Amino acid sequence: MADALVETLGKALGRDVPTETAATALLHEDRLFPVDPSVRAITRRLYNQIKDLPLVSPHGHTDPAWYARNEPFPDPAQLFVVPDHYVFRMLYSQGVPLEKLGVPHANGTAVETDGRTIWRLFAEHYHLFRGTPTRMWLDHAFSDLFGLQERLSPSNADAAYDRIAECLTQDAYRPRALFERFNLEVIATTESALDDLAHHRAIQSSDWNGRVISAYRPDAVIDPQFEGFHDNLKMFGRLTGEDTLTWDGYLQAHRKRRAFFKEVGTTSSDHGHPTARTADLSDTDKRALFNRVTQSAATSEDAELFRAQMLTEMAIMSLDDGLVMQIHAGSHRNHNGPLFQQFGRDKGADIPAPTNFVDGLKPLLSKVGNEPDLKIIVFTLDETTYARELAPLAGHYPCLYLGPAWWFYDAPDGMKRYRDLVTETAGFYNTVGFNDDTRAFPSIPARHDVARRIDCGFLAERVADHRLDEDEANEIAHDLAYGLAKKAYKL
């Protein structure tokens, strides 16, 4: 009787009383919400207003061939383990060889190919993901997409494998059906400047209405240290009919390719540089630098300076053609030399490095930073720059916007730190909403949902301590989930 009263009153007062026998369904409806009952109640109200908004995915790395060909995804291991460096890097860090996880060798050495064998090894190590966003994304897909009810473990691994494998044979699990199920309003992929965009053109000439666009990523012809740079320049010339071994022809080739990308709906370019350095050289110096980096192997300093100058050139082109410019700076790629030799790029060995935006961006900003029609979105892997550099820069320069918490920080605690560090100086309107930036198609709804939950919790805390009114928080929640991404990326 007393217990019943307590429980009734507890519920009425918004108190959620967890007990040792609490159910462990994979997805709790209040997951990631602040725990204080009054804040949780506000969070719920905010979240309920925006949770069903369409997903806008303005930057990512899914494969356009999926949407073009609409073929079934292969087995569960090929869907969840083999291509996802978030997943296999964690097992590798605990001593599991990549070969056993089916990750292909660069030289063709045989690796494990049996999906079920890989899946069992994955399930044995599933506890390693405790506390990580990977765990949440996986559980979300397991539960929401495939109806699994139990936490993955060695004892249920086979059953889970069978269930997912069976689903993947159904039409409802083909890429286009999932695109629609995910409520994607638009998704951007990212293609090299040398790509023929055949998949995008195929999608557009098909009878399917899904909006799949690309982003212009010219690293292969801008970074003198990129594999095959000199050959890439030649292909760049063939594709555009320009003499890309002259500075003028090279710039003109960029203009033509940007226009080619725009024809299939592209609204942005993307630049993955190791640092945030930009440059604004004289015309003479630019030409001399171009000759040095194209006529022989570039020195490290010349390579860095050329990348720096090209960010400014890209910004100038954006002023003309309106492409939104994204700068993803600060990753030390392929840190693990021996592993890179064996397995190639993107194997979980890209490590963030300290990044200086204050000095780095100054030449570009001095050139075009006060242009109100230019949009440059900056992403960082160095959280120390959020409050110290990026928020003050974005809170001043008209052209500058802050991308969301990126990569290692695209996770609940990382997102909270991002808002905590950025908002007081830059506010909400110098940020651009959420990017999932993923290759893992089934994780897209989970990632957007995490961002929406965390942002609503952040706003609710500020309503609860009276820094924001709830009607404002509602408006902001909508903007962060939907409006800002559309506006920033001109979608």
Residues of span 38-57 touching its own copies by CB under 8 A: 38-39, 41-42, 45
Strand partners of residue 213: 188
274 touches its own copies (CB under 8 A): no
Residue closer to its own copies, measured from CB, 155 or 466: 466
Identify the residue among 54, 104, 265, 395 touching its own copies (CB under 8 A): 395
Q: Does 337 engage in binding with its own copies (CB under 8 A)? A: yes
Residue showing tokens 């961006």: 361
DSSP assignment of 8-48: HHHHHTT-----TT----SS-TTTTS-SSHHHHHHHHHHHH
65-124 positions binding its own copies, by CB under 8 A: 89-90, 92-95
Site for its own copies in 151-210 (CB under 8 A): 151
Q: Which pair of tokens denotes residue 231?
A: 């050959």
Q: Could you say whether residue 491 binds its own copies (CB under 8 A)?
A: no
Per CB under 8 A, the list member of 144, 470, 483, 486 interacting with its own copies is 470
Interaction between residue 413 and its own copies (CB under 8 A): yes
Pairing of strands 268-271, 324-329: parallel
The interaxial angle of helices 300-321 and 283-295, nearest 10 deg, is: 120
- Using CB under 8 A, pick the residue from 327, 394, 444, 477 that binds its own copies: 394
Q: Which of 36, 99, 112, 144 binds its own copies (CB under 8 A)?
A: 36
Q: How far is the CB of 447 from its own copies (least distance, A)?
A: 13
The amino acid sitting at 295 is: Q
Query: Is residue 336 involved in binding its own copies (CB under 8 A)?
Result: yes
Give the other-Cβ count within 10 Å of 296's Cβ: 11
Using CB under 8 A, pick the residue from 55, 136, 378, 491 that binds its own copies.
136
Q: Report 242-271 residues binding its own copies (CB under 8 A).
A: none
Burial class (CB in 10 A: 0-12, 13-18, 19+), 428: buried
Pinpoint the alpha helices (H) of 51-127: 64-69, 76-80, 85-93, 115-124
Identity of the residue, 234 or 333, whose beta carbon is nearer to its own copies in the bound complex: 333
| Choice from 2, 110, 282, 301 touching its own copies (CB under 8 A) | 2
414 binds its own copies (CB under 8 A): yes
> CA 434 to CA 402: how far, in whole Å?
11
Q: Minimum Å distance from CB 112 to its own copies?
A: 17
Q: Which of 111, 128, 245, 316 binds its own copies (CB under 8 A)?
A: 128
Tell me: does residue 61 bind its own copies (CB under 8 A): no
DSSP 355-382: --HHHHSHHHHHHHTT-TT--EEEEES-
> Could you say whether residue 313 binds its own copies (CB under 8 A)?
no
Judged by CB under 8 A, does residue 478 bind its own copies?
no
Does 316 sit near its own copies (CB under 8 A)? no
Q: Is 6 in the site for its own copies (CB under 8 A)?
A: yes
Q: Give the nearer residue to its own copies in terms of CB position, either 234 or 335.
A: 335
- Asked whether position 281 contacts its own copies by CB under 8 A, the answer is no
Count of Cβ atoms closer than 10 Å to residue 81 Cβ? 22
Estimate to the nearest angstrom the gap between the alpha carbon of 438 and the chain centroid.
Answer: 5
Least distance from C-beta 246 to its own copies, angstroms?
A: 31
Contact 154, 120 (CB under 8 A): yes
Residue 385 corresponds to which tokens in the numbers above?
A: 């720059």
- Regarding 18 and contact with its own copies (CB under 8 A), the answer is yes
Residues with Cβ within 8 Å of residue 150, at least 6 apart in sequence: 26, 156
CB of 475 to its own copies, least distance (A): 8
Inter-residue contact 435 to 418 (CB < 8 Å): no
Element (H, E) at 184: strand 184-188
d(CA 388, CA 294): 37
| β-pair partners for 270 | 326
| Residue whose CB is less far from its own copies, 278 or 430 | 430
Angle between helices 37-50 and 470-478 (to 10 degrees): 40
Alpha-carbon distance of 185 to 201, in angstroms, equals: 18
Whether 88 contacts 101, CB under 8 Å = yes
Pick between residue 261 and residue 458 the one whose CB is nearest to its own copies. 458
Q: Minimal distance in Å, beta carbon 350 to its own copies?
A: 8
Kindly state whether residue 9 participates in binding its own copies, applying the rule CB under 8 A.
yes
Q: Report angle CA 69, 75, 76 to the nearest 5 degrees.
A: 115
Q: How far is the CB of 18 from its own copies (least distance, A)?
A: 6
**Which of 181, 238, 333, 335 touches its own copies by CB under 8 A?**
335
How crowded is residue 72: how many other Cβ atoms within 10 Å of its Cβ? 13
Residue 35 binds its own copies (CB under 8 A): yes
Q: Lay out the site mask for its own copies across 354-393 (x = CB under 8 A, - = otherwise).
A: x-x-xx--x--xx--xx-x--------xxxx--xxx-xxx
Maximum distance among all Cα pairs of the chain, rounded to whole angstroms = 88
Residues that bind its own copies (rule: CB under 8 A) add up to a total of 114
138 binds its own copies (CB under 8 A): no
